[in-house]
Structure 1
Amino acid sequence: MTPRPAYALIATDLDGTLLRGDHTLSGRSRAALARAAAAGARHLVATGRPAPLVRPLLRELGSRGLAVCGQGAQLYDAGTDRLLWSVTLDRDLAETALEKIEAEVGEVYAAVDQDGAEGLTLIEPGYRMSHPSLPAVRVRRRAELWRRPISKVLLRHPTLSDDELTAAARTVVGSLATVTMSGPGTVELQPCGVTKATGLDRAARRLGVSPSRAVAFGDMPNDIPMFAWAARGVAMADAHPELKAVADEVTLSNEEDGVAVVLERLFPG
């Protein structure tokens, strides 16, 4: 009888983790994920990207499974091309949170991810996308950011570092929203209590998989809840120090196929 794999669920962040710097998936990583799938493990993407920006990648991967998107605010089914679940950030609360942050640190530049499988990323004047290749629509004034339901707000400050902006936002936002940092130049406000861990737990329940049989890979502080949820957390070599501090293991960087290196060990084939 073939022994069951040590881990039945593989949860991977995308940018800075599974994907290389040019947003592509290497042949080695594809092969490692295929080997894990052949052994019976499920692969779940858990990303800050909203569902519309994840869909093309899942098609490229040939994935027909679930994906946790928008920092846990969305559960997308690639097989049926629909959102199974989503939660929005109250726009009045978002505006209030922005006002409090700007009262603390001065002017910030904002963007939003609209809710829904076809939602757009809207950016106000002055905001620069951390990944310029990803599509976004520039609006003329901030009020236009709130014209449709949103899943999160993205923030940038002209002089403060990401760590400084995150710390300042957390001191004033309170229960209005969850503040997280998901990548260089990416500080975010999302619905209070929503994290990658809450999204993963919802997905895992649908799949009938326990957190005790999950391994997670990430590179930024927004992956900390995911590491706390999974049985094992693996940080990339160039991960944020806060994530490395709670990781069970540190692998090579995303450019060096760090995810594949670990999967090859866990699923030797």
Structure 2
Amino acid sequence: MTPTPFPRIVATDLDGTLLTSDGTVSPRTRQALRAARAAGAEIVFVTARAPRGVREIAARTGVDGTAICSNGAIVYDVATDEITHSSPLTPSAAREVAETLAQVLPGVGLAVETGRNVLAESAYTRRIEADMAFYREVASVFDAGQPIVKLLAMSAAHTADDMYAAVADAIGDLAEVTYSGVEGLLEISAAGVTKAATLDRICQERGIDAGEVVAFGDMPNDLAVLMYAGAGYAMANAHPLVLAAARHRTLSNDEDGVAAALEALFPLSLGRGIPRR
């Protein structure tokens, strides 16, 4: 799987990767993305965020194509603001997962990402200020009759690493369990639904080989994408599991690591970059 000189898809995570720690996109990164697009590459955001958390970033970066959202459960058309594909958990699988979580992590709080909104039980205390208009308080996430694009499990008493270690084997093949940087939060998708699986489907639709993809990420939910791509780059600030497994590394998100790598892959006038390794 040898990458072409100019990759056809640049697949990048957002938080901790493309975005700086204050949630902005640097001028250097915007320039690098423009240069990659000018060279013929498609920019695909591959993120745990829901579509509502992607559109503004896409506008700031000039990206108007396809985004993979909610850890692969949603394919989102940025230009039309439409969800073109969704792979939710079945209600029965979600209930079984919730029962397992309650047994292994007593007191865990649950919320559901529907694709457009968040349904949150009282024990799920995490609130994102910019998202408050999209939250709905419910007695049970299973009584609302809404699609369960992503089941969120929160525990203030545990780290995400500890939660994952406690529940991954118990849930087994029933669902996909991962996490993306928020302490005490697990993100659970339907079995077989990952960022990498959805990216592969998009590549197949476009006739693109995995070797023609360059990818960037920082957290365990990015790892499958980094291993799938012809060139998968871990950010310098990445989770230890990602740093240990990824074949390539770049600078941190606050050092414009995505831009630095793209400058070495695409013909930029800035004359900066890092060698591929």
Alignment of 1:36-115 (within 5 A): 36-115=36-115
The amino acid across from 1:21 in the alignment is S
1:165 match: 163
Alignment of 1:181-220 (within 5 A): 181-185=179-183, 186-220=185-219
Unaligned runs of 5+ in 2: 269-277
Unaligned runs of 5+ in 1: none
Alignment of 1:5-24 (within 5 A): 5-24=5-24
CA distance in 2, matches of 1:81, 1:173: 33
CA distance in 1, matches of 2:205, 2:59: 21
CA distance in 2, matches of 1:158, 1:78: 34
Q: Is the contact made by 2:76 and 2:84 (CA closer than 8 Å) also made in structure 1?
A: yes
* 3-state SS in 2 of match to 1:111: strand
- When residues 24 and 47 of structure 1 are mapped into structure 2, their CA distance, relative to the original with a 3 A threshold, is same
1:244 match: 243
RMSD in angstroms over aligned alpha carbons? 1.8
Could you list the per-position Cα deviations for residues 117-144 of structure 1 after superposition, in whole angstroms to 9, with x for gaps in the alignment?
xx20222223243754334414142246
The amino acid across from 1:53 in the alignment is G
Could you list the per-position Cα deviations for residues 214-251 of structure 1 after superposition, in whole angstroms to 9, with x for gaps in the alignment?
11100000111101211111111111111111111222
Q: Aligned-pair distance for 1:161?
A: 1.0
Of the candidates 98, 119, 122, which is equivalent to residue 122 of structure 1? Answer: 119
Could you list the per-position Cα deviations for residues 180-219 of structure 1 after superposition, in whole angstroms to 9, with x for gaps in the alignment?
1122233111000110011111222233321111111000
CA distance in 1, matches of 2:71, 2:103: 26
CA distance in 1, matches of 2:166, 2:69: 25
Q: Aligned-pair distance for 1:12?
A: 0.2
* 3-state SS in 1 of match to 2:45: strand
The amino acid across from 2:130 in the alignment is S
Q: Is the contact made by 2:68 and 2:74 (CA closer than 8 Å) also made in structure 1?
A: yes
Q: Aligned-pair distance for 1:37?
A: 1.1
CA distance in 1, matches of 2:43, 2:51: 16
* 3-state SS in 1 of match to 2:245: coil
CA distance in 1, matches of 2:160, 2:77: 32
1:263 match: 262
CA distance in 1, matches of 2:222, 2:208: 19
Q: Aligned-pair distance for 1:152?
A: 0.7
The amino acid across from 2:194 in the alignment is T
TM-score (normalised: structure 1): 0.91
The amino acid across from 2:77 in the alignment is D
Q: Is the contact made by 2:217 and 2:233 (CA closer than 8 Å) also made in structure 1?
A: yes
Could you list the per-position Cα deviations for residues 26-75 of structure 1 after superposition, in whole angstroms to 9, with x for gaps in the alignment?
11100011111111111110001122322232233332211111111111
Of the candidates 129, 144, 150, which is equivalent to residue 148 of structure 2? Answer: 150
CA distance in 1, matches of 2:36, 2:195: 22
Q: Is the contact made by 2:227 and 2:246 (CA closer than 8 Å) also made in structure 1?
A: no
* 3-state SS in 2 of match to 1:182: coil
* 3-state SS in 1 of match to 2:180: strand
